[in-house]
């Protein structure tokens, strides 16, 4: 039997059950389930990993609960600027878009850049023009309007502060990003990530989501990774690529490598958030150093799970668990 796996996330952060109503939790779980089902059915029918991560991420972009696509937050000027990327582990092809407006599905634009251009990343007006040229759906500003997002922005509009998704108003401080990683039945892997960025951002700020190696990475030799968190530390740590390097050069497993990066390297530079990943054996991991992460996984062996909160009784990671160098050099 062929092995295939899909794992998704809808953002990480201070996500506590006591701050969530039953109705809201049910809505988030349904959104995650819909995205999993959308991508998994493609894998089940023989689709590629690229097709699966694209479909799953587009499903999350179309859900206003998540800070990507339709649910993107407002920037300083009251507009949405969106970032996304996608990478094919089979051939290391990648596409990315930064600071684009009015494109319904930025991850689809990233895919189009990967497949229909000679470039890896386009940004701003040029990216918008490329989307129109290739017939992608363009939506008016009203499509992206959400009263909840608008209220977030109004609280910060007159300041120079920025915020990651919900942390302005409620205790649910969520790093709003969505993404997916997949292994298909042909042994190929892929990853995709999409975000609306930070509330009240200005000066053309771009986070890690569209940066290959930081927010997204896929390589058939190792793994496919999609990240969520405070983008600046993830960029500085070259987070997604670092997981691949630890697997390829140190021989760590997927989960071991993700734990080193998320619980050690990122935390040393105040990086909060998490990541999801798959390897070429179909193993999946969802690792985060925050209180929660909207996440889900579905595998050909029957595993089908959705989770939001931190598992309080889960194994506690320590530096001694996954030493990545000689103790004499102070690694552990």
What residues are labeled active site? 177
Contacts of 178 (CB under 8 A, 6+ apart): 8, 9, 10, 11, 35, 57, 60, 61, 66, 67, 68, 193, 194, 195, 228
Burial class (CB in 10 A: 0-12, 13-18, 19+), 26: exposed
CB 290 within 8 A of CB 14: yes
Supply the angle between the helices 106-116 and 49-61 in degrees, to the nearest 10: 150
Q: How many CB atoms lie within 10 A of CB 6?
A: 33
**Phi, psi for 258 (deg, rounded to 5):** -65, -40
Stretch (H or E) spanning 255: helix 254-260
Helix, strand, or coil (residue 213): coil
Q: Please give the Cα distance from 179 to 275 (Å, whole number).
A: 9
Residue 137 neighbours by CB under 8 Å, 6+ apart: 103, 104, 105
Alpha-carbon span 98 to 84, nearest angstrom: 7
* Pairing, β 121-123 against β 93-100: parallel
Q: Which two tokens stand for residue 94?
A: 């990648």
108: phi then psi, degrees, rounded to nearest 5: -70, -35
């Amino acid at each position: 039997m062929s092995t295939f796996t899909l794992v998704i996330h809808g953002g990480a952060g201070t996500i506590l059950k006591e701050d969530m109503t039953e109705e809201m939790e049910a809505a988030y779980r349904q959104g995650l389930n819909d995205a999993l089902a959308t991508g998994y059915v493609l894998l089940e029918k023989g689709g590629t990993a690229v097709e699966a991560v694209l479909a799953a991420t587009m499903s999350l972009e179309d859900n206003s609960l998540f800070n990507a696509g339709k649910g993107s937050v407002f920037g300083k000027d009251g507009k949405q600027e969106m970032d996304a990327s996608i990478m094919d582990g089979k051939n290391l092809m990648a596409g990315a878009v930064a600071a684009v407006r009015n494109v319904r599905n930025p991850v689809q634009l990233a895919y189009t850049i990967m497949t229909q251009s000679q470039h890896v990343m386009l940004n701003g007006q040029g990216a918008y023009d490329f989307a129109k040229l290739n017939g992608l759906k363009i939506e008016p500003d009203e499509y992206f309007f959400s009263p909840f997002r608008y209220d977030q922005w109004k609280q910060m509009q007159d300041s120079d502060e920025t915020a990651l998704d919900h942390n302005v108003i409620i205790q649910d401080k969520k790093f709003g990003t969505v993404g997916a990683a997949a292994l298909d039945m042909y042994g190929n892997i892929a990853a995709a990530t999409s975000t609306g960025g930070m509330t009240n951002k200005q000066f053309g700020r771009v986070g890690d989501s569209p940066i290959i190696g930081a927010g997204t990475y896929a390589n058939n030799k190792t793994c496919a990774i999609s990240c969520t968190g405070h983008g600046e530390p993830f960029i500085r740590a070259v987070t997604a690529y670092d997981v691949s390097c630890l697997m390829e050069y140190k021989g760590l497993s997927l989960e071991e490598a993700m734990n080193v990066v998320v619980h050690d390297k990122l935390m040393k530079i105040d990086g909060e958030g998490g990541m999801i990943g798959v390897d070429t054996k179909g193993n999946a991991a969802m690792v985060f150093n925050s209180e929660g992460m909207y996440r889900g996984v579905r595998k050909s062996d029957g595993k089908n799970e959705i989770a939001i909160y931190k598992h309080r009784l889960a194994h506690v990671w320590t530096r001694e668990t996954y030493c990545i160098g000689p103790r004499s050099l102070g690694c552990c």
